[in-house]
Amino acid sequence: MSTPLFDFTKNRPQVTAIRKRTLKMLLEASKSSYPNEFGGILREEKGVITELILLPGTISGERSALFKLHMLPVDSSVVGTVHSHPSGSCRPSDADLDLFRSFGYCHIIVCEPYDLKSWACYDGFGERRPLEIVK
């Protein structure tokens, strides 16, 4: 098991929701990246995911999106990642689970057809978790 880049277990906010406009942005970015994977970093505000951070140097291919996490500034509002699965499955791969365990605690996977029903959220252990869509 890899060593986490940041200790996300201390003083972490309880993330319970995502803004609808942020989710739509994630879905559109993923759709426009097809057939390659899309990847980004999630930022929260008062327990709601409100923002997407695009990291310079992220490499997107048909089978993976590779983050340059060293490009991420230290930011306590960062809660995890988002990436797409062009294959149509929102289930995390073994590589996804490795990332989840080492970075953040709230991870979203989106897939085709990239609509409001084609996404899932996972915790740092790869367990599916609820995330309410709010205005």
Report residue 42 as tokens.
């999630």
Q: What Rg value do the Cα atoms of the chain yield, rounded?
A: 13
Q: In the beta sheet, which residues pair with residue 52?
A: 42
| Selection from 65, 1, 52, 46 nearest residue 22 by Cα | 52
Q: Please say if 44 is a catalytic residue.
A: no
Single-letter amino acid, residue 134: V
Collapse the DSSP code of 57 into the 3-class scheme (helix H, G, I; strand E, B; otherwise coil) and give the result.
Answer: coil
Q: Which is catalytic among the residues 37, 44, 45, 62? A: 37
Single-letter amino acid, residue 51: E
Provide the annotated active-site residues. 37
